[in-house]
Amino acid sequence: MSDRPKIHPSGGSTIPASGNSNANLAHLNSFDTKLKKLADSIKVEDEDDEKQSLEQIRLTTKELFTNTIFGEVYNSVLLVISIFSCFQYLQQTYVDNPDEKDYVELTIAIIFTWDWILNCFIADHKMIFFTR
């Protein structure tokens, strides 16, 4: 059998406590230290940084729209736009103006689409957002 120590999968050595184990243990510790320094020096460019920043933006946006006065004002403005949209629908239903362009309706549709995309972005669980 060789004199090299066996390394257990847990990271510990299987060297018995007797004999020349102190020298072997010191050698293993220095090897572990060098290996950790090497691992720390290697920087892997990964998408984790980008995902982390996107997740941070999502959480910050969610915090802004749920727990601040800005979020309350935003929801109040959407409520007013919803009521205006109902009146606009009634006006289009009962009043005939075939020559008039529907810029108001298009603007309201864009605002509600933006709100839907924003809520989709800040949703914690996308599948639940789409199925509720």
CA end-to-end distance (rounded Å), the chain: 66
User: Tokens representing 47?
Assistant: 């998408």
Q: Would you state the pLDDT for residue 12?
A: 53
Nearest to 51 by CA among 63, 43, 59, 42: 59
**Residues facing 13 on adjacent strands:** 7
3 state SS of 15: coil
The whole-number pLDDT of residue 94 equals: 86
Contact 121, 64 (CB under 8 A): no
Tokens linked to 117: 């995309």
In 3D space, the residue among 121, 120, 122 whose CA is nearest the CA of residue 131 turns out to be 120
Closest-CA residue to 78 (of 92, 65, 60): 65
What is the reported pLDDT for 93?
A: 85
Mean pLDDT by 10 residues, the chain (132 residues): 56 52 67 73 62 84 92 95 92 77 87 95 90 86
Res 11: pLDDT: 54
